[in-house]
């Protein structure tokens, strides 16, 4: 303990050197600015700014790139809350209650709670990285394809709680997303599936195309067809969260941080799954579950804490095992190797200054982001006050730019229009969009884990139930699925008795 603290303090001294402080500040500011743009998530932010690291000392370059990463994670919630336009998969859940709060004039509350929750989760993630990195890395090794398959089933089951309506409609939405996720070339056999002869569909449908269509464009269509909607101004209330908001959110922040850190330790889909599971947990624990989907502050605090906790904890498998848990982590791994440094078990003994200065800079960066973001909350929140005849075309422009920037494909623009119409119809008939997006992202990963698990057992499906961790996760998924059914039955009995 004493040696860990002394090494952290030595790393903090290095991180607070002027050039490193400047690097983390530039990384956080630029990352946040890029993260605010719909369609430009952490992966794009880090990839775009890698050239800035050339010519810098290795530690300074890595500190700046890490700042870009968690700065972009902070910024991703802004457009989800204000414009209902998620820029990356981890921000999808934030749209559900965050945008409803914004429409009620409480954008400041949602943005402030998101910033504070992100700070708490990031700080706890850094503490985990400091004290528990080596032993927790062994936990990550224990998760093999059967366990990953079980976790993804849990996440999909959790996503069915994202709909404020019928469980059956949520399950239908989830199944449609799984079907869309099969479009493209099979990665194992090379077979083309459901492409209908179109070369543009060989690589499948990008998450961003579906998310911006189902959320942002459907929002524009819904507002446009509603009578008098364009003339209606959204009220703007307090620019900051109230004491009651913080009191209601604190437990959700801690639970979301814990879930995010746990999922972030697992190389794979931790960043995607943790916000969905966090949202489901908060809805099940809430005394007022009917508020979820209509503007519950816990529906912002939990998922935002979860995705930032996962982002911080994702450094554990990267630094201690050399295993990148996401595309962004893979880019950071490439930057390490570009400097001739191999992340893994020997990183700490061979490059202690590098490791501890990076860990300390993450803490400094979290403090900087809180100081930078909280004063900006009133300014960001005023975006929602723009008259709708101006705001709605801006959302369209941002959505199309975000989609086109991914693959430079005009076909994707037609796809996002199709998903926009689909999202509009889903809103009309009260089918939740979030389970569809979740299953679209996780479907291919789940299929890969299923195949790998069956390969491990020579085709025996019992492998998914014979392993204790996988079995425990499946039982938890069954409980998650049963809770809404039990609650619905109780409500029906109470209504019949009344």
Looking at residue 265, its pLDDT comes to 78
CA–CA distance, 212 with 419 (Å, rounded to integer): 8
What is the per-residue pLDDT for 39?
A: 58
Measured CA distances, 361 to 30, 137, 314, 446 (Å): 16, 21, 16, 35
> Which two three-digit tokens encode residue 13?
């001294």
**Which residue has better confidence, 270 or 128?**
128
Q: Which residue has the higher pLDDT, 119 or 208?
A: 119
CA distance 361 to 24: 7
Closest CA to 331 of 308, 314, 309: 314
Burial of 434 (0-12, 13-18, 19+ CB in 10 A): buried
Please tell me the predicted confidence (pLDDT) of residue 228.
Answer: 58
Helix (H) or strand (E) holding 193: strand 192-193
d(CA 293, CA 101): 10
Q: Is 70 exceeded by the pLDDT of residue 214?
A: yes
Question: Residue 170: its pLDDT value, please?
Answer: 83
Specify which residues 192 forms β-bridges with: 185
Q: What percent of the chain has pLDDT over 90?
A: 4
Round to whole Å and give the CA distance between 116 and 121: 9
pLDDT tens for residues 292-319? 888 889 989 999 899 888 888 888 777 8
Matching residue, tokens 């992100």: 118
How far apart are alpha carbons 263 and 121 in whole angstroms?
A: 13
Nearest to 119 by CA among 329, 302, 363, 299: 363
Q: Helix 270-285 and helix 468-497: axis angle, to 10°? A: 30
pLDDT digits (tens, 9 = 90+) for 116-151: 888 898 888 888 877 776 666 666 667 788 888 888
**What CA–CA distance (Å, rounded) separates 491 from 495?**
6
For residue 422, what pLDDT is reported? 93
Q: Taking all residues of the chain, what is their mean pLDDT, rounded to a whole number?
A: 80
Q: What are phi and psi of 185, to 5 degrees?
A: -85, 130
What are 283's two structure tokens? 């809805």
- The sign of the CA dihedral 120, 126, 132, 136 is positive
Q: Which of 334, 310, 380 minimizes the C-alpha distance to 73? A: 310
Among 441, 78, 444, 480, smallest CA distance to 279 is for 480
Element spanning 422, H or E: helix 410-428
Question: Mean pLDDT throughout 421-439?
Answer: 86
* Residue 154 to residue 140: CA distance in whole angstroms: 17
Residue ranges per structural domain of the chain: 1-496
Q: Would you state the pLDDT for residue 1? A: 54
In this prediction, residue 427 carries a pLDDT of: 85
Closest CA to 174 of 162, 152, 156, 161: 156
Q: What tokens does 483 get?
A: 């809770």
Residues 103-112, mean pLDDT to the nearest whole number? 84
pLDDT of residue 254: 92
pLDDT value of residue 384: 67
Residue range 443-493, pLDDT digits in tens: 888 888 889 898 888 888 888 888 888 898 888 888 877 776 776 677 777
Using DSSP's 3-state secondary structure scheme, residue 185 falls into strand
Residue 5: its pLDDT value, please?
78
- Confidence band of 236 (pLDDT split at 50, 70, 90): low
């Amino acid at each position: 303990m004493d040696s860990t603290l002394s090494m952290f303090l030595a790393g903090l001294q290095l991180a607070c050197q002027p050039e490193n402080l400047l690097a983390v500040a530039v990384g956080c500011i630029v990352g946040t600015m890029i993260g605010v743009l719909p369609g430009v998530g952490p992966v794009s932010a880090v990839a775009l700014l890698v050239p800035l690291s050339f010519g810098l000392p290795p530690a300074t370059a890595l500190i700046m790139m890490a700042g870009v990463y968690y700065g972009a994670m902070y910024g991703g919630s802004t457009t989800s809350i204000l414009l209902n336009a998620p820029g990356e998969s981890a921000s999808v859940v934030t749209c559900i209650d965050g945008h409803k709060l914004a429409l009620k004039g409480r954008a400041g509350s949602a943005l402030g709670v998101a910033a504070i929750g992100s700070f708490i989760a990031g700080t706890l993630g850094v503490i985990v990285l400091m004290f528990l990195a080596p032993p927790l890395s062994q936990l990550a090794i224990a998760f093999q394809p059967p366990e990953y398959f079980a976790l993804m089933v849990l996440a999909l089951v959790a996503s069915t709680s994202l709909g404020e309506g019928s469980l059956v409609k949520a399950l239908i939405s989830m199944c449609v997303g799984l079907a869309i996720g099969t479009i493209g070339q099979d990665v194992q056999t090379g077979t083309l599936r459901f492409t209908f002869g179109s070369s543009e569909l060989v690589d499948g449908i990008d998450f961003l195309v579906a998310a911006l269509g189902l959320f942002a464009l459907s929002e524009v269509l819904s507002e446009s067809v509603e009578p008098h909607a364009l003339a209606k101004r959204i009220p703007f209330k307090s620019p900051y969260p109230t004491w009651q908001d913080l009191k209601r959110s604190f437990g959700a922040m801690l639970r979301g941080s814990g879930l995010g850190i746990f999922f972030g330790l697992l190389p794979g889909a931790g960043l995607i799954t943790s916000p969905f599971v966090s949202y489901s947990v908060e809805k099940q624990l809430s005394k007022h579950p009917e508020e979820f989907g209509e503007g519950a502050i816990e529906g912002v605090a939990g998922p935002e804490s979860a995705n930032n906790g996962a982002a911080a904890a994702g450094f554990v498998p990267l630094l201690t095992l050399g295993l990148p848990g996401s595309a962004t982590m893979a880019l950071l791994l490439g930057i390490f190797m570009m400097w001739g440094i191999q992340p893994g078990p020997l990183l700490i003994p061979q490059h202690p200054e590098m490791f501890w200065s990076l860990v300390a800079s993450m803490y400094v960066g979290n403090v900087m982001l809180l100081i930078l973001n909280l004063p900006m909350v009133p300014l960001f929140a005023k975006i929602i006050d723009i008259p709708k005849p101006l705001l709605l075309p801006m959302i369209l422009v941002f959505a199309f730019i975000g989609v086109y920037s991914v693959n430079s494909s005009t076909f994707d623009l037609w796809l996002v229009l199709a998903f926009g119409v689909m999202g509009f119809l889903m809103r009309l008939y009260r089918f939740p969009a979030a389970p569809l997006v979740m299953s679209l992202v996780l479907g291919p990963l789940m299929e890969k884990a299923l195949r790998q698990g069956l390969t491990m057992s020579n085709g025996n499906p019992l492998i998914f139930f014979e392993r204790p961790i996988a079995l425990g996760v499946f039982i938890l998924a069954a409980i998650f699925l049963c809770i809404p059914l039990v609650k619905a039955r109780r409500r029906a009995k109470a209504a019949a008795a009344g």
